[in-house]
């Protein structure tokens, strides 16, 4: 994108007026964030920040930096070319259990 516009940096800001609607489409926000994360992981462009902000029902302002604040969990797997679906599923469950309390304290339980 920086090449297309011959720019050193590109900032994208999406917002809606509260009078129009309560919020942006959650699915569209997720899709856009995932697309930016994919661009960043493929090193097509250097993406330094992906911030998502909003407010809670109690009007508390919340800001999440998807690159800086993301959680990574390492697990041990047997070294081989193919890892079965059941092993991957178990790895995800183990990772969730390792971070469950931290996630609930950050985002609450629903």
Q: Which of 17, 3, 2, 11 is nearest to 50 (CA)?
A: 11
Q: Is 57 helix (H, G, I), strand (E, B) or coil?
A: coil
Number of compact structural domains in the chain: 2
Residue 20 has pLDDT above 60, yes or no: no
When pLDDT is cut at 50, 70 and 90, the band that residue 40 belongs to is: low
Does residue 54 sit in the same domain as residue 84?
no
DSSP structural state of residue 35 = H
Name the residue range of residue 76's domain.
71-110
Q: Given this model, what pLDDT does residue 25 score? A: 79
When pLDDT is cut at 50, 70 and 90, the band that residue 104 belongs to is: confident
Contact (Cβ atoms closer than 8 angstroms) between residue 14 and residue 24? yes
pTM score above 0.95: no
Residue 21 has pLDDT above 60, yes or no: no
Does residue 56 sit in the same domain as residue 101?
no
């Amino acid at each position: 994108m920086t090449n297309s516009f011959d720019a050193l940096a590109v900032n994208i800001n999406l917002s809606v007026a509260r009078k129009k609607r309560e919020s942006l489409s959650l699915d569209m926000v997720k899709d856009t964030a995932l697309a930016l994360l994919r661009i960043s992981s493929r090193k097509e462009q250097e993406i330094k920040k992906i911030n998502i902000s909003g407010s809670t029902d109690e009007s508390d302002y919340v800001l999440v930096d998807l690159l800086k604040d993301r959680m990574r969990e390492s697990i041990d797997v047997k070294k081989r070319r193919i890892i079965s679906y059941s092993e991957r599923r178990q790895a995800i469950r183990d990772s969730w259990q390792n971070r469950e309390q931290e996630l609930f304290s950050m985002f609450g339980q629903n």
